[in-house]
Structure 1
Amino acid sequence: MMDNLRAASNHVVLKIILGLIILSFVLTGVGNYLIGGNGDYAAKVNGQEISRAQLDRAFNNERSRQQQMLGEQFSQLAGNAGYMQQMRQQALSQLVDEMLLDQYAKELNLAISDEQIKQAIFNQPAFQTNGKFDNAKYLSLINNMGFSADQYAEALRKQLTTQQLIAAIAGTDFMLNGETEALAALVSQQRVVRQATLNVDALAAKQQVNDDEINAYYAQHKNSFLAPEQFRVSYIKLDAASMQEAASEADIQSWYEQHKAEYVQPQRNRYSVIQAKSEAEANAMLAQLKQGADFATLAKEKSADPISARKGGDMGWLEPSTTPDELKEANLTSKGQLSGVVKSSVGFLIVRLDDIQPEQVKPLAEVHDAIADKVKQEKALDAYYKLQQKVSDAASNDNESLASAEQAAGVKAVETDWFGRDNVPEALNFKPVLDAIFNGNLQGENGTPGSNSDMITVDGDRAFILRVNEHKPEAIKALDEVKTQIVATLKHDKAEKQAKAQAEKILADLKAGKQDALTAAGLTFGEAKTFTRSDRDAIVQSLFALPQPQAGKPVYGTSEDMQGNIVLLALDEVKAGSLPEAQKKAMAQGVAQNNAQLVFDALLSNLRKDAKIKYGAAVQMQ
């Protein structure tokens, strides 16, 4: 049992348990179970096919995830064909595992009810507005993904079934009371120890070092004494934000008239629907409505779509961009108008247009301040780009200095002190700027000034023109520069060896019963201190590795403190500690969860071992 007590926070079972019901996984992953593709398959698992389309979607999802997480670093990885192929293989391996779990869940007859599906949809935050389920948002999102309500529900059923399987596995392990108590006793154990310290710095002060030793160390460690590459740079910075001026009312009015279309709220319609599985059933309900039946009551009682039925068929307010094609094709134009039977991908619909909000244009007073900001920004950007071109031309025409560029920009260039890659001035700390300095061709020969840079743009509408005034390449420091450092290192090394040798001799004498060995070395043990495993002290690991002492007979050992001194240990006593019940419970749950993870590992391993898995040509990068 103790062999299983290990860190497992990144284990696959935790990732699956935490990820299964997260919307982003559902929206990007569940389609893999439903959407096939033409062409070569990626794999067949016990005869069930994973299509190329499924693999491409899983691969693209992982690619997007890594791109968001790694940012610019991902562009370098994406250029490595081997890395991308490995990512594709991992995506396929995940799809195979998901299919194996799905097949195993079916063998166990695990099932998810329609009510559970409904509640899972209702509880998804992405389908909610102000904390309440929004049917219009739900239908718009799944329609944009290419799902009908039935397809989405079936995909979600597969995910929840797999979750049920994993939850069953994760809940199978437990610890006996005796095991828990034994582990708690071990974890809470306390040790009483006395310490005597051999001060390495004090011994180092007494060491002697000769020139031969210094020269030999310098020759062997020259690469440790590199002086980094250094630069001194002059630069001119242009910033659009500093060029903003107040916008006139005439400018604001003109901008509003030219962009009025941006402030139009398109017509919105509110629909209600009743969904039927057959045309005959839809016609029967349509007849009832024409005879005066209440639409909302009929929708709640008989609509085949449980989501819209809950609200009496109400779909909420829809703009043209979010209105499903079936509702548009009903051609309803007046409030209260009822459609005929409309055939759709989910069955047959009866649609009613409940209300209309006509197109509206926001008045200038309502958007005045926002437009003023835009006018200021546009004017500033226009002036910024014109100045940028002017300064760039001046820097190109006079490539021997920044004097002409300074005159064009109306500012004096800033000159930095010496700096390297590890201490870049904050004002220049932008990747394009650093690339130009460190990886460009701006240095002259033998440390002389080079050419002016091109205009370098960075985020936030800022730009730089710069030149390298002086450059010092990476070089090995002269012996005179590092002699003091070498002497200190050699003395410390000698003192450390002396301290370790002295400690080993004293330790051997103490174990042999020579109690005056410590006194002879001019050392004494300090007062006894009690330590626990959780204490943050450098000696703790060595202390708890010592065997338990017999009554009245200390156990001796050595360790090092945080300053690198050698510490002699005299372990006098081991005492039992205690843990709060809540901590014991949490510890037992952690061990049980870890064991459940091992069981899950074994399950997946056995499923793969027993499965017939055949890989197709689509596994390779296309």
Structure 2
Amino acid sequence: MLEKIREGSQGTIVKVVLGAVILSFALAGVGSYLGNPAELVAAKVNDQKIYTQALENAVRDERTRLQQQLGEQFEMMASNPAFEQQIRASVLERLVTEALLDQAVAEHGLAVGDEQVRQAIVNMAAFQRDGVFDNDLYLSLISRQGFSAASFRETVRADMSRRQFVTGVLDSDFVLPNEIERVESLLNQTRSVRYWKIDTAKIAASYIPTEEQVQAYFDSHQYLYQQAEMVSAEFIRIDAQQLAQDITISDEQVAEYYQSNVDLYKTTEERRASHILLDNSDEGRDAARKIEAELAAGGDFAELAKTYSTDTFSAEKGGDLDWFARGIMGDVFDEAVFALAQEGDVSNLVETPFGLHIIQLTGVRPEATQPLDEVASTIQQELKQNQALEQYYQLQEEVTNLAFELPDSLDEIASETGLKVEQTDSFERTAPPTLLADPKVINALFSEQVMRDRLNSDPIELGEGLLMVVRVKDYQPARTKTLDEVKSEVAQAVALESAADSANGIADDYLAKLKAGETPLIAADEPIVLLSESDFRRDAMSLDRAVRDRAFAMAKPEQGSQFDKVTASNYVAVIALDKVSIAEGQESDERLAQVLEQTQSQVAYLALVNALKEQAEIVYVQQTESDSDLF
């Protein structure tokens, strides 16, 4: 661990040196030829530049997040250039917003203290094991993201400062009690209706359109009857998992592998230690002598670590560094720890590039070897997988060569390798069969090489141990379906359209009678039913959604009833709104106030960002241009 930190600090020096070299090149007139990406600017917010490299890093992180969230669907979406452009645009807008907020923070003199930052990091769940902050995990995770401890702290500080500013603005905005009461009143409102439901499907069932009507509808609605381009495919695939199923591993092979690789099943010695880190200075050495004296007098190591150690993260845990093997903490530190004989022993003062250490041994896990019976099944699976991969790579090489030598057919490739040629029925690009439902395969099938030239695809690697070669067996270009193909669908559409016109005519007649104070009588042969629903709320599921929503859109009747009609996909309804009331005995919902406050906060935040943008000078730059060219 200490070695990694040391390397990180050296990396910073290297970066400074490289920066100086690049600067000297620029001064000498060479920089313009290098086109250093660090000088490319994506946007300028007032006097602050957002560099292309920062944008690329943020886009990469966003793609990773979306890939984890969307899984296989992401690859399909990412194959669309518009989707990639959308990601880049949204990330750039986020960086612009962050820059605006950073400038507002600086203008208002807001600051977040070191202790606040430290506590925020300690409380992050990502850095905890069993609910307790783990310093090793923390350093490991941030290093994977390209952070040093210092740069991560500053990133957290900047984020907390933005939140502090935004919270200060939003906290001045609140929801008034009468606003909550008004929304509660609307949410608790109930309505009672009668409605005459006219079934268009029943009307359509008795309607027989003429040939002329069918032809006319088809001619004017051909856009509804389009057939996308389709292909049927042939393919061969090499699947290491399938190959492994046909492989048998004997007990003798397992035992032989175990004996030859027994070191793989040995656990190395691990030790647990605590340390007190001090500055490598005269003051640090004075403190070390004082600590050593207190330890000699029976002082508690953990308490002394909490009091004196400059490693604040481990100090909180009494200096505990958890378990580690040799090679983790650096040569000097390791030598001191592994030289201690018994738990509780304390080292002499140890000097490393990080300072002065006093180390206490708190635990020992000796080296051990797992017995064969514990690892036999694992070895068997590993040997199977190894043999399967050997077969896979051999077949991969053969198929790759044959696909190039025999580009016009898969049959000869299958004959040479013993693989099977599989086939599919015709399918559209957006609805491939499961085995071919990978963006790489679909893009290959619909490429010029495969679809137009009718050649085999290049071998397509679909992950570890899975490869496929595809070709188009048959291709059908996009076209308008013929009337004969869709005649029944068109006739049904004509009947439904006519039925909808008839239903609306009946509804208009009923509506006129109701508004005139008459009660319409339903004839025995009319496809109409009279229904009613009393005291239902906005979220009621007991009646059709179209009727419910229209009922709540109607004005409250001053006296008597209000009348209206609504057209749904398979019926037309005439509605009589008879009563509007507030449900009694409804308790105030605290969650409503929270939702309203969150909604208002979101609106206020967007207003804040828009206001900052209006006051700022924001320039979006073509990423092929250099900083020096533009500013």
TM-score normalised over the length of structure 1: 0.75
Is 1:304 matched up with 2:306? no
Match in the other structure for 2:276: 274
Match in the other structure for 1:13: none
Cα contact 1:112–1:160 (8 A) shared by 2 = no
Match in the other structure for 1:137: 137
In structure 1, how many angstroms separate the alpha carbons of the residues matched to 2:143 and 2:476? 61
Q: Which residue identity is paired with 2:226?
A: L
Q: In the TM superposition, what is the alpha-carbon distance from 1:481 to its structure 2 partner? A: 2.8
Match in the other structure for 1:93: 96
Is 1:120 matched up with 2:120? yes
Describe the SS at the equivalent of 1:526.
Answer: strand
Cα contact 1:442–1:453 (8 A) shared by 2 = yes
Match in the other structure for 2:22: none
Match in the other structure for 1:215: 215
Cα contact 1:194–1:572 (8 A) shared by 2 = yes
Match in the other structure for 1:10: none
Cα contact 1:506–1:517 (8 A) shared by 2 = no
In structure 2, how many angstroms separate the alpha carbons of the residues matched to 1:258 and 1:118? 49
Match in the other structure for 1:588: 593
Deviates more, 1:209-218 or 1:585-594: 209-218
Q: Which residue identity is paired with 1:490?
A: V
In structure 1, how many angstroms separate the alpha carbons of the residues matched to 2:402 and 2:57? 51
CA shift in 2, pair 1:520/1:308, >3 Å: closer
Cα contact 1:184–1:579 (8 A) shared by 2 = no
In structure 2, how many angstroms separate the alpha carbons of the residues matched to 1:396 and 1:149? 51
Is 1:550 matched up with 2:558? yes
In structure 2, how many angstroms separate the alpha carbons of the residues matched to 1:549 and 1:103? 57
In structure 2, how many angstroms separate the alpha carbons of the residues matched to 1:611 and 1:517? 68
Match in the other structure for 1:601: 606
Describe the SS at the equivalent of 2:61.
Answer: helix
Question: Residue deviations 1:52-98, cap 9 Å, x none?
Answer: 77666545434543455564257546799966763563243133134
Match in the other structure for 1:352: 359
Cα contact 1:327–1:351 (8 A) shared by 2 = no
Unaligned runs of 5+ in 1: 1-34
Is 1:338 matched up with 2:352? no
In structure 2, how many angstroms separate the alpha carbons of the residues matched to 1:155 and 1:398? 56
Describe the SS at the equivalent of 1:338.
Answer: coil
In structure 2, how many angstroms separate the alpha carbons of the residues matched to 1:398 and 1:198? 65
Question: Residue deviations 1:217-268, cap 9 Å, x none?
Answer: 3333334333444444455554332333222345435545665665564554
Give the counterpart of 1:486 among 487, 490, 497.
490
In structure 2, how many angstroms separate the alpha carbons of the residues matched to 1:429 and 1:44? 42
Match in the other structure for 2:75: 72
Q: In the TM superposition, what is the alpha-carbon distance from 1:464 to its structure 2 partner? A: 4.4
Q: In the TM superposition, what is the alpha-carbon distance from 1:571 to its structure 2 partner? A: 1.6
Match in the other structure for 2:382: 374
Question: Residue deviations 1:110-132, cap 9 Å, x none?
Answer: 65573x55543433333323333
Is 1:183 matched up with 2:183? yes
Q: In the TM superposition, what is the alpha-carbon distance from 1:492 to its structure 2 partner? A: 2.1
Describe the SS at the equivalent of 2:249.
Answer: coil
In structure 2, how many angstroms separate the alpha carbons of the residues matched to 1:175 and 1:400? 71
Question: Residue deviations 1:545-572, cap 9 Å, x none?
Answer: 2222233x222111124x5221111222
Match in the other structure for 2:31: none
Q: How does 1:492-503 map to 2 (within 5 A)?
A: 492-503=496-507
Cα contact 1:333–1:353 (8 A) shared by 2 = no
Describe the SS at the equivalent of 2:339.
Answer: coil
Question: Residue deviations 1:557-609, cap 9 Å, x none?
Answer: 11124x52211112222222247425x32222222222233333344445555
Match in the other structure for 1:541: 549
Q: RMSD value over aligned CA atoms? A: 4.6
In structure 2, how many angstroms separate the alpha carbons of the residues matched to 1:92 and 1:171? 24
Question: Residue deviations 1:488-519, cap 9 Å, x none?
Answer: 22232223223323423442343244555877
Is 1:510 matched up with 2:514? yes
In structure 2, how many angstroms separate the alpha carbons of the residues matched to 1:148 and 1:395? 48
Cα contact 1:236–1:412 (8 A) shared by 2 = yes
In structure 1, how many angstroms separate the alpha carbons of the residues matched to 2:540 and 2:136? 57
CA shift in 2, pair 1:616/1:492, >3 Å: closer
Q: How does 1:408-557 map to 2 (within 5 A)?
A: 408=416, 410=418, 413-421=421-429, 424-439=432-447, 441=449, 456-459=460-463, 461-464=465-468, 468-515=472-519, 526-530=530-534, 531-536=536-541, 537=544, 538-551=546-559, 553-557=560-564
Match in the other structure for 2:242: 242
Match in the other structure for 2:195: 195
CA shift in 2, pair 1:525/1:461, >3 Å: closer
Cα contact 2:510–2:520 (8 A) shared by 1 = no
Q: Which residue identity is paired with 2:311?
A: D
Give the counterpart of 1:575 among 570, 577, 581.
581
Q: In the TM superposition, what is the alpha-carbon distance from 1:179 to its structure 2 partner? A: 3.4
Q: Which residue identity is paired with 2:557?
A: P
In structure 2, how many angstroms separate the alpha carbons of the residues matched to 1:282 and 1:87? 50
Cα contact 1:232–1:471 (8 A) shared by 2 = yes
Describe the SS at the equivalent of 1:581.
Answer: coil
Cα contact 1:193–1:573 (8 A) shared by 2 = yes
In structure 2, how many angstroms separate the alpha carbons of the residues matched to 1:367 and 1:113? 49
In structure 2, how many angstroms separate the alpha carbons of the residues matched to 1:290 and 1:461? 59
CA shift in 2, pair 1:86/1:177, >3 Å: closer
Describe the SS at the equivalent of 2:576.
Answer: strand
Q: Which residue identity is paired with 2:198?
A: L
In structure 2, how many angstroms separate the alpha carbons of the residues matched to 1:74 and 1:226? 23
Describe the SS at the equivalent of 1:547.
Answer: coil
Cα contact 2:503–2:572 (8 A) shared by 1 = yes
In structure 2, how many angstroms separate the alpha carbons of the residues matched to 1:310 and 1:585? 39
In structure 2, how many angstroms separate the alpha carbons of the residues matched to 1:477 and 1:68? 40
CA shift in 2, pair 1:545/1:433, >3 Å: closer
In structure 1, how many angstroms separate the alpha carbons of the residues matched to 2:615 and 2:577? 54
Cα contact 2:197–2:531 (8 A) shared by 1 = no
In structure 2, how many angstroms separate the alpha carbons of the residues matched to 1:484 and 1:250? 69
CA shift in 2, pair 1:317/1:522, >3 Å: closer
Q: In the TM superposition, what is the alpha-carbon distance from 1:191 to its structure 2 partner? A: 1.6
Describe the SS at the equivalent of 1:575.
Answer: strand
In structure 1, how many angstroms separate the alpha carbons of the residues matched to 2:101 and 2:397? 56
Deviates more, 1:69-78 or 1:484-493: 69-78
CA shift in 2, pair 1:440/1:363, >3 Å: farther
Q: In the TM superposition, what is the alpha-carbon distance from 1:99 to its structure 2 partner? A: 0.7
In structure 2, how many angstroms separate the alpha carbons of the residues matched to 1:432 and 1:523? 53
Describe the SS at the equivalent of 2:109.
Answer: helix
CA shift in 2, pair 1:572/1:286, >3 Å: closer
How many residues are treated as equivalent by the alignment? 575
Describe the SS at the equivalent of 1:316.
Answer: strand
Question: Residue deviations 1:324-361, cap 9 Å, x none?
Answer: 68846x8666215635474756xx43232627869847
CA shift in 2, pair 1:440/1:432, >3 Å: farther
Cα contact 2:406–2:412 (8 A) shared by 1 = yes
Q: In the TM superposition, what is the alpha-carbon distance from 1:483 to its structure 2 partner? A: 2.7
Question: Residue deviations 1:171-194, cap 9 Å, x none?
Answer: 444444443333222222222211
In structure 1, how many angstroms separate the alpha carbons of the residues matched to 2:623 and 2:326? 39
Cα contact 1:400–1:451 (8 A) shared by 2 = yes
